[in-house]
Amino acid sequence: MIFGFLNIDKPRGMTSHDVVNHIRRVMRTRQVGHAGTLDPMATGVLVVCVGAATRLSDYVMSDTKAYRAIVRLGVETDTYDADGKVVVEADASTVSRQQVEDALAGFRGDILQTPPAFSAIKRGGKKLYELARQGKAVELPPRPVSIFSLEVVEWQPSQVTLNVVCSAGTYIRSIAHDLGAALGVGAHLTGLTRTASGDFQLARATPLDTLIASQDASAYVIAPAAALRHYPRVTLEAAETDDLRHGRRIPAGSLLPNGADDAGGSVVMAFDRNNRLIAVCALRDGGLHPSKVFAETPDDSAVEDGPAEQETDSR
């Protein structure tokens, strides 16, 4: 049984669901899903959950994201990226790097951001991009997001390349669009690479073609113990493992991990002595309460962060 995650370097021009379909064929299982959509134009880190790890997508999807984004000034599109129709054009040749730097200051920190009309957010059971293609405009309220870092790394007239570190749920297309609005010339995203999603780094991502061509695709699977290592964890004895697998609360006692907030209901990952994930637990009232329990799985302790050769295969 395959139980873990893949760190895939998504190619341009393919949807996240296309990647999932390829991996379903390679892994010979329908139990595959992605954690955090990338638009077809985007490349880079796409976290893919395989087997029972599909039940853990929320725990890797909520991590901080990092991107390299290329923004063209002077042209606004309906989708906020290069795949859309041009709706406004303006002369951006006089915009200076300093003006861009000054405008970016308003996007850092905790901000309210309005998602693009062409997005996968659902309203009334339909995705917004489906409604937008039908000409049905949907007014979306702005949502809180956090921009931890937003820096200019390359500049030439009418084009700026940015490094962005942000919270999950941030739309880089909206940053591009809103930057153009702040400068008064319009803008859209022409290139986007996700360089990190939590602990999943582009430097260690596997190109999809490499995975497809591999004789043993399971060798690229990253174990839950490695993928979830930023969560507090406990190691259980056999009796405690049996209790959690049967849905019974166990006393935290000396198991209580450093940094876990008993009063706040912290998420704690419970492993057995063979480093196999037994349950996701809520820590409260001095006990570990199982919220997701996993059946017995093969020993995954040998897989720490994917094969070492992934670093040289990255692109």
For residue 112, the SS3 value is strand
With respect to residue 172, please indicate whether it lies within any of the assigned structural domains: yes
Cα distance between residue 156 and residue 142, in whole Å: 31
Q: What is the pTM of this model?
A: 0.86
Supply the angle between the helices 172-183 and 97-104 in degrees, to the nearest 10.
120
Whether 54 shows a pLDDT value over 80: the answer reads: yes
The pair of structure tokens assigned to 184 is 């008064």
Phi then psi for 125, rounded to 5 degrees? 80, 0
Whether 113 shows a pLDDT value over 60: the answer reads: yes
Catalytic residue among 9, 39, 178, 199: 39
Whether 103 shows a pLDDT value over 80: the answer reads: yes
In the sheet where 287-293 sits, what is the strand order?
Answer: 233-235, 266-271, 277-284, 287-293, 250-251
Which one of 197, 218, 248 terminates a domain? Answer: 197
Count Cα neighbours of 111 within 13 Å in the Cβ-side half-sphere.
Answer: 21
Q: Are residues 151 and 245 in the same domain?
A: no
Q: Are residues 72 and 187 in the same domain?
A: yes
Q: Are residues 178 and 238 in the same domain?
A: no
Q: Are residues 179 and 236 in the same domain?
A: no
Q: Which domain holds residue 288?
A: 228-298
With respect to residue 263, please indicate whether it lies within any of the assigned structural domains: yes
The pair of structure tokens assigned to 250 is 């166990």
Which one of 179, 197, 215 terminates a domain? Answer: 197
For residue 196, the SS3 value is strand
Q: Are residues 184 and 244 in the same domain?
A: no
User: CATH no. for residue 89?
Assistant: 3.30.2350.10
Q: State the Cα torsion 253-255-261-265 to the nearest 10°.
A: -80
With respect to residue 220, please indicate whether it lies within any of the assigned structural domains: no
Q: Are residues 187 and 78 in the same domain?
A: yes
Q: Are residues 187 and 241 in the same domain?
A: no
With respect to residue 95, please indicate whether it lies within any of the assigned structural domains: yes
For residue 88, the SS3 value is strand
pLDDT band at 3 (very low <50, low <70, confident <90, very high): very high
For residue 35, the SS3 value is coil
Q: Are residues 178 and 240 in the same domain?
A: no
pLDDT band at 306 (very low <50, low <70, confident <90, very high): very low
For residue 74, the SS3 value is coil
| Domains identified in the chain, total number | 2
Q: Would you state the pLDDT for residue 23?
A: 97
Q: Are residues 170 and 84 in the same domain?
A: yes
Q: Are residues 155 and 260 in the same domain?
A: no
pLDDT band at 117 (very low <50, low <70, confident <90, very high): confident
Phi then psi for 226, rounded to 5 degrees? -85, -45
CA-based torsion, 89, 91, 97, 98: positive or negative: negative
pLDDT band at 167 (very low <50, low <70, confident <90, very high): very high
114: which residues sit within 8 A by CB, 6+ positions away?
140, 141, 142, 143, 174
Higher pLDDT pick, 135 / 100: 100
Cα distance between residue 244 and residue 248, in whole Å: 5
With respect to residue 73, please indicate whether it lies within any of the assigned structural domains: yes
Q: Would you state the pLDDT for residue 155?
A: 98
Q: Are residues 70 and 192 in the same domain?
A: yes
With respect to residue 8, please indicate whether it lies within any of the assigned structural domains: no
Q: Would you state the pLDDT for residue 286?
A: 86
39 a catalytic residue? yes
CB–CB of 207/315 below 8 Å? yes
pLDDT band at 303 (very low <50, low <70, confident <90, very high): very low
Q: Are residues 183 and 263 in the same domain?
A: no
Phi then psi for 102, rounded to 5 degrees? -65, -40
